[in-house]
Amino acid sequence: MANCMVFHTQIASVMEVLANAAVADICKLVDDDYAVFRLEMTQSQKENRALRRKLQLLELKVARDRVLASRPSSVKILDRNRGMARGHLTGGHRISVKPAGHNTWRDDQPITVDEGSGTATHHVIVIESVDAEDAGPGIKLERSEGEDPGQSTDIQTGAAGVLPVATEDPTPTPPRTRRSITEVSGTPNAVLKSETDTETLTVAHRLLHTGSGHRSDPERLGPLGCPPAPGTEYLPVFHQSQKTVNSCGNTDGDALDSGGDDDDLSCFYTTEMDSGNISLGLETQTDLSRGDWNQYSSSVYSEGCLDKKGEVIAVDDVTVKVEGDTPLTWNADETHLGEGHSQDFLDYRESETNPNETNPNVSSHSPVRTLRDRAPVSTSKGPSDSHCRVLFDQVLNSNDRARAQGGGNTGSSKEKRFLCMFCNKGFSCLQKVEIHQRVHTGVKPFSCTQCDMRFAEAGSLKRHQRVHTGEKPYSCPQCHMRFTQAGSLKRHLKVHMGERLFV
């Protein structure tokens, strides 16, 4: 018996030893696999970066090929007499400053600017004029990157240097003069002062950097998707500062007259490093140097986008100018868009369990909620078409009421004096323009902490996070389906109404 006990004890000890050994082996295998996995991940990330760089190079090459095959592009110049600047920045690779409504401009091709590594500190933009009197129809953009000549994108003008991206008005090109814009250190905003026209021009000068990568890389984001720390690829953006660009023409050509003709037809737009005029830019750099990074995270947060502020064009009778402003602080973590907001979601599941219970957090004017409050319906199966139609009409009527309260004609009550510099769309306040212009600039300052999605508006991020939280506040009263968005519910209601989405 005793032997049996000893035997069992020995077996137990052996089993324990074997188990420990097995665990150790498993741990070792896991560690090895993990190391291999990380190595593979690192390699994949490197490959992604390399491919991204190749893609950028290819894009640049394509753009250059276009140059060779077509006319030189023009930088769109904003001029009071010529209307508001229009243009479109796509992908953060274009700079376009254009006088809308000026037919004498040869074409409206925005210039594609590839910032390369983003370390450019010296840019020269040559503006080519259609005629002697008017501003040049096109702008050649020359760039010399003094700090990093090796990475010069060589956007030299002339037949080979200009990068035409789009042609809005590909009219034949008459002989033209040249104007140049020299950007000493790059700038998100450039104020063009045309002395020949004796008026102040404001051009949101967006020099977009492609950098060595884009923010879509998770590893480039800070923890939890926060903006990267100083010193990342965003940093070069801040080297761009606001400058005044003078149309030298006959008078102020001394600033940079190397690129112009000697006759009066030429006009030089020269950027100047004036500390008094570049409060934004200098402050930006200063703050960056101090490590006040968060303040400017917005400016550099999005792919290919330089600045977020200062593009607003306030229109008055005398001048068209860009109103610069201090950048917003865009930090997704500071938007408090987390689980704490889930309480604000409309949860009709609660309504289903207790239709009479009202949620104080629920917006009282929610059409869907109004629907449920006013017309508690049976949740039984079997859609009632007439009933659904009533519900749907209530939704629509609530919308109509909401609009009626707003005066019907949107914007009529408020003067839309803030114009988007890209599309001339008018807005009633500065903030709206800034948000809207993210459409053109691609700025998406709000990033989801749980995925790589980025949004231009906080509300979009908040809405998106329902994907992660599983919140589906909008419930169909007919079939218990729930939706994350009210629009989805509204669309779904049409199913019960028998309406076909595609007729």
Partner DNA sequence: CTGGGGAAGGGGCCC
Partner DNA sequence: AGGGCCCCTTCCCCA
Binding site for DNA (CB under 7 A): 325, 328, 335-336, 341, 344, 346, 362-363, 365-368, 395-396, 398-399, 402-403, 405-411, 425, 427-432, 436, 438-439, 444, 453, 455-460, 462-464, 466-467, 472, 481-488, 490-492, 495, 500-502
Task: Please say which residue, 376 or 411, places its beta carbon nearer to DNA.
Answer: 411
Q: Smallest gap, in angstroms, from Cβ of residue 442 to DNA?
A: 8
Task: Please say which residue, 260 or 442, places its beta carbon nearer to DNA.
Answer: 442
Rounded-to-integer distance, Cα 161 and Cα 165, Å: 12
What Rg, from alpha-carbon coordinates, does the chain have?
30
Task: Please say which residue, 381 or 500, places its beta carbon nearer to DNA.
Answer: 500
Q: Smallest gap, in angstroms, from Cβ of residue 204 to DNA?
A: 16
Task: Please say which residue, 176 or 464, places its beta carbon nearer to DNA.
Answer: 464
Q: Smallest gap, in angstroms, from Cβ of residue 483 to DNA?
A: 4
User: Which residues have CB under 8 Å from 397's CB, separation 6+?
Assistant: none
Q: Smallest gap, in angstroms, from Cβ of residue 437 to DNA?
A: 8
Rounded-to-integer distance, Cα 371 and Cα 365, Å: 10
Tokens of 177: 């003069």
Displacement of CA 267 from its chain's centroid (Å) = 33
Q: Smallest gap, in angstroms, from Cβ of residue 148 to DNA?
A: 32
Rounded-to-integer distance, Cα 306 and Cα 267, Å: 27
DSSP three-state, residue 5: helix
Rounded-to-integer distance, Cα 124 and Cα 136, Å: 15
Can you list the positions of beta strands (E) in 250-401?
267-272, 312-315, 320-323
Judged by phi (left if over 0) then psi (alpha if -120 to 50, else beta), residue 407 lies in: left
Bridge partners for 163 per DSSP = none
Q: Smallest gap, in angstroms, from Cβ of residue 176 to DNA?
A: 34
The DSSP code for 161 is T
Contact 187, 241 (CB under 8 A): yes
Task: Please say which residue, 125 or 312, places its beta carbon nearer to DNA.
Answer: 312
Dihedral sign of CA atoms 286, 291, 294, 296 in order: positive
Q: Smallest gap, in angstroms, from Cβ of residue 299 to DNA?
A: 15
Q: Smallest gap, in angstroms, from Cβ of residue 310 to DNA?
A: 12
Task: Please say which residue, 220 or 482, places its beta carbon nearer to DNA.
Answer: 482
Task: Please say which residue, 261 or 323, places its beta carbon nearer to DNA.
Answer: 323
Q: Smallest gap, in angstroms, from Cβ of residue 211 to DNA?
A: 20
Q: Smallest gap, in angstroms, from Cβ of residue 414 to DNA?
A: 7
Please name which of 143, 298, 278 lies closest in space to residue 234, comparing C-alpha atoms: 298
Task: Please say which residue, 201 or 420, places its beta carbon nearer to DNA.
Answer: 420
Phi, psi of 20 (to 5 degrees): -60, -40
Identify the H or E element spanning 427. strand 426-427
Task: Please say which residue, 98 or 482, places its beta carbon nearer to DNA.
Answer: 482
Question: Would you tell me the crossing angle of helices 486-497 and 367-374 to the nearest 10 degrees?
Answer: 50
Task: Please say which residue, 294 or 460, places its beta carbon nearer to DNA.
Answer: 460
Q: For 90-114, what is the HEC assignment?
A: CCCCEECCCECCCCCCCCCCCEECC
Q: For 183-224, what is the HEC assignment?
A: ECCCCCCEEEEECCCCEEEEECCCCCCCCCCCCCCHHHCCHH
Q: Smallest gap, in angstroms, from Cβ of residue 383 to DNA?
A: 11
Q: Smallest gap, in angstroms, from Cβ of residue 471 to DNA?
A: 9
Can you list the positions of beta strands (E) in 32-183?
94-95, 111-112, 123-129, 138-143, 177-183
Rounded-to-integer distance, Cα 232 and Cα 475, Å: 45
Q: Smallest gap, in angstroms, from Cβ of residue 375 to DNA?
A: 15
- Tallying the residues shown for the chain, one arrives at 503
Dihedral sign of CA atoms 490, 492, 495, 496 in order: negative
Task: Please say which residue, 198 or 386, places its beta carbon nearer to DNA.
Answer: 386
Task: Please say which residue, 379 or 399, places its beta carbon nearer to DNA.
Answer: 399
Task: Please say which residue, 84 or 395, places its beta carbon nearer to DNA.
Answer: 395
